[in-house]
Amino acid sequence: MLQLFPAIDLRRGRCVRLYQGDFDQETVYGDDPVAVARSFAAAGAPWVHVVDLDASRRDGSNRELVVRVADDAGVPVQTGGGVRDGSLLEAGVQRVVLGSVAVEEPQLVRELGERYPGQVAVGLDHWGGEVRTRGWEEGSGQRLLDLVHQLEGDHVAAFVVTDISRDGALVGPDVDGYAELLAATAVPVVASGGVGTLDHLRQLAAIEESGRHLSGVIVGKAIYEGAFTVPEALDALS
């Protein structure tokens, strides 16, 4: 069964969602991220996924809030956005996601992954196959599958892959793209971006390549907008 990761994106201390990664197209869903995390856990979510959008752009930080969520959520927390070391893991976060730094300093992925086995994932956010960095605002000039091959190894807990063009748009996930990823790497893959219905979740759950399935799926806007509940999502993924 795919693991469900309800998402909490933090900007200036509030829960927000962006449309296609555009910081000028922001919707605010609450000012108490800890309470939101607790509600996800109470509904049965096995994880909570937290992104520090300010830190991802090097425009501030929600670090203390991320740690509070990890302390109080009641379930493991996976977090990304500006992560460059293992300090959040030391503070109680279960898994960190290295994004821009994984592209710019790939040796750090191996260093941290070996120091914290099973707790370091790599976040690859792409538009049309080109991986973008710095809060999705800068093109890296590198292709998604090329980076997967460069970075993969036992030290990587998972690849968290977001199709930015679909993120927050509720138009459906890139099913073919995720199937291609599963065929390209033995590292677990967590899907992110585009989920808007329970059928979209079922489509992701049905992907199979050489007996392998996706490891998880991150869902944000669809839950906040009431398209489905956490229990309904868990049922669709089972």
125 is catalytic: yes
Catalytic residue among 52, 54, 125, 174: 125
CB-based contact 164:125 (threshold 8 Å): yes
Cα torsion through 230, 56, 193, 190, rounded to 10: -70
The parts of the chain modelled with pLDDT lower than 50 are none
Domain tally, the chain: 1
Q: Is 9 a catalytic residue?
A: yes
Q: Which amino acid is at 16?
A: V
Query: Where would I find the H helices in the chain?
Result: 33-42, 53-56, 63-72, 87-90, 100-104, 106-115, 144-151, 175-184, 198-206, 221-224, 230-237
pLDDT at 26: 63
Predicted pLDDT at 129: 85
Q: Which domain holds residue 165?
A: 3-237
pLDDT tens digit sequence for 111-144: 999 999 999 999 999 988 899 876 556 666 789 9
CATH of residue 52:
3.20.20.70
